[in-house]
Amino acid sequence: MNINLSELSLAELHDLIANVQQALIAKQKQERKHIIAQMQQLADSIGVTIMIQEAGKPASKTPVPAKYRNPRNPSQTWSGRGMKPRWLVALLDEGLDIQDCLI
């Protein structure tokens, strides 16, 4: 297939792009189904169960409950995971004990 793109109007180029994107998505879905079927067949042949999760759809994560609260601003909380928030670092620098912020 040989298309002379310089002869197409803007509208025709936009339509071409849209059609190509749709065709690409359809082809990717088709290829994905084919590969998943092959993986399932291989797994079944050795008695293994596989779980497949679609990309872009992360597993649901339950939020971690807050463990610490800013005594000066109760709306500021921290779960105790990751870096300490600035408000907590400032309080600790002032000499406050982290135990004083426990919920």
Q: Where are the domains of the chain?
A: 7-45, 68-101
Number of helical (H) and strand (E) elements in the chain, helices listed first: 2, 2
Rounded distance between C-alpha atoms, residue 81 and residue 84, angstroms: 8
Rounded to 10 degrees, what is the CA torsion of 11, 13, 17, 23?
A: 100
Q: How confident is the model at residue 38 (pLDDT cuts 50, 70, 90)?
A: very high
Q: How confident is the model at residue 1 (pLDDT cuts 50, 70, 90)?
A: confident
Q: List, for residues 56-74, the tens digit of each pLDDT value.
A: 766 677 888 999 999 999 9
Rounded to 10 degrees, what is the CA torsion of 20, 22, 27, 28?
A: 110
pTM of the entire predicted model: 0.47
Q: List, for residues 9-26, the tens digit of each pLDDT value.
A: 999 999 999 999 999 999
Please name every residue paired with 78 in a beta bridge, in sequence order, or none if there are none. 68
